[in-house]
Structure 1
Amino acid sequence: MKRNWDLIRNILCALEEDRFVEYVRSGGLSDKETQKFTDLKSGRIDTESLEEAKKNRRNEIWLHVELLIDCGVIQNTQFDREGVNNNYRLSMQGHDFLEDLRNQEVWDKIKNQAFKSGAKLTWTFITAAAEQIVQRLASI
């Protein structure tokens, strides 16, 4: 599995907004992604393929949740891989991290800075870049 920073950002937002259970149940698929399983002519939904995509994405979500737990951004009171109960919460570090990533402009600048410099999006790069970008925006 490749680490997906956009997915990480979405997971953190869902936790903060108390919609994590719904996010997991939906497989984290956006409306645009869900529309890919709808035949434009008939309007029929390929439910089998859609459910398979949700299942695959849920697996990816849980692998990323485990990474976030490992680094202390998420804490859990009881591991529930079915996503039926929201036993997860952001740690103080998680709230701080999300505060930097929540702003779409800041997030886009972080990704652009990594792309331009040839750096990889890593925890260290993102936190350092976010700090610089937020300081620059604050001084304007």
Structure 2
Amino acid sequence: MKRDWKIIQEILCAIEDNKVKMHWEQIPESEQKNVLLHYELLKESELITNYELVSDMDDDGKCTYHPNFLPQSPNVPGIRMTMKGYDLLEVLRDQTLWNRILSKAKSLGVKLTYEFIVQAIPVIYKTMM
């Protein structure tokens, strides 16, 4: 699997719009594993919370995985973004800023990681002012 920033943006947008279940249902079965791995990356990076991976076993013994979108109790919110998640989504939506981050990574010859993005933002903002 390769990290895909477009998939990350789609997931974050779906969470923000409260349409994550609808988004999941539109993903072809052949791509679901890759998208699930991106959910896991977002959770590990503390960009989303109230998320868990659920497995179901069908009658034939086939195990399928899907994200849990519903709260386990009425008082617990469902999947949501953290403040860091909202911050990243703002960066991904701002094409000028995003293109400058991509360009900066390329000019420095470094990989485009979450940590690089976070560190590049203030540097790029200074050049924009």
TM-score range, shorter chain: 0.7 to 0.9
Gaps spanning 5+ residues in structure 2: where? 55-64, 71-77
The answer to whether residue 87 in structure 2 is matched with residue 96 in structure 1 is: yes
Aligned equivalents of 1:133, 1:14: Cα separation in 2: 27
Structure 2: distance between partners of 1:135 and 1:25: 41
How far apart in 2 are the matches of 1:71 and 1:94?
9
In structure 2, the residue corresponding to 1:82 is in which secondary structure? strand
State TM-score, norm by structure 2.
0.73
CA–CA distance in 1 between the matches of 2:111 and 2:41? 17
Question: SS in structure 2 opposite 1:121?
Answer: coil
Alignment equivalent of 2:69, drawn from 85, 88, 96: 85
Letter in 1 for 2:17: E
Instruction: Give how far 1:77 is off.
Output: 5.1
Question: Whose strand proportion is higher, 1 or 2?
Answer: 2
Matches of 2:116 and 2:68, distance apart in 1: 34
Cα distance per residue 1:85-132 (max 9 Å; x no partner): 353100122112222222122112211221222110111111112232
Q: Which residue of 2 aligns with 1:117?
A: 108
Q: Give the number of equivalent residue pairs.
A: 112
- SS of residue paired to 1:12: helix
Distance 1:107 1:2, change over 3 A: same
TM-score, length of structure 1 as denominator length:
0.68
**What letter matches 2:122 in structure 1?**
E
Q: Which amino acid aligns with 1:110?
A: I
- Structure 2 residue aligned with 1:2: 2
Secondary structure, aligned partner of 1:130: helix
Matches of 1:10 and 1:135, distance apart in 2: 28
Output aligned runs, 1:1-140, within 5 Å: 1-27=1-27, 54-76=28-50, 79-80=53-54, 81-83=65-67, 85=69, 87-137=78-128, 139=129
Query: What's the offset of the Cα at 1:133?
Result: 2.4
- Among the aligned pairs, what percent are the same residue? 33
Structure 1, unmatched stretches of 5+, are 28-53
- Measured against aligned partners, the alpha-carbon deviations of 1:44-80 in whole angstroms (never above 9, x if no partner) come to xxxxxxxxxx112221111010111011100025545
Contact 1:101 1:130 in 2 (8 A): no
